[in-house]
Homo-oligomer: A and B are copies of this chain.
């Protein structure tokens, strides 16, 4: 034990609760540049995420070249067109009206991959559930997402992408699994309600019918 053990008081907890609520999936970005020190801060915060066996399997690919960004945009456009074709009638119109990614404007873009065969961790904790490696990367993503909001930065997670295509476009190692694509920048607007609630796609369901006892 040490005297440096932090104490989290009610004031902090209220603010933390606000952070959970105001952390939003952002798709509308200003083109204002983001300071390199802020990106470095987020990446550093990511390294404190929990990981299975302490394998720290996250790999961060900063997508910077215009031609690389174009490949990602093409990937999104194709995947989104396929997705739209799966809806009919009003749902299709509503889907088509949604803004689902900020790929055109977000000044910082980052792909997160997971090393599925890391030496680190020596396999501990993942024999029966190898997917916990990807889960570890997801925890790193959420760490950045929360920390970004405190810097007034927004993050949007784009999942409407073909993972095989992005892996081949980025020429990543075979053992890397594509896990997440993040758009990062200053948001055009702030909301406490998710964009998909605000635009009538899907309401919050709270805990209704989700807690069981065994």
Contacts and interface: CB of A to CB of B under 8 A. Distances in A.
B13 A150 contact: yes
Given A6-B15, A150-B8, A159-B132, A54 B204 contact: yes
A151 to B, nearest CB: 8
B63 A202 contact: no
A122 to B, nearest CB: 6
A107 interface: no
Contact of A202 (B16, B53, B134, B139): B53
A194 B54 CA distance: 8
How many protomers of this protein does the assembly include? Answer: 2
Interface in A130-146: 131-132, 134-135, 138-139, 142-143, 145-146
Contacts of A56: 204-205, 210
Contacts of A134: 131, 135
Contacts of A203: 54
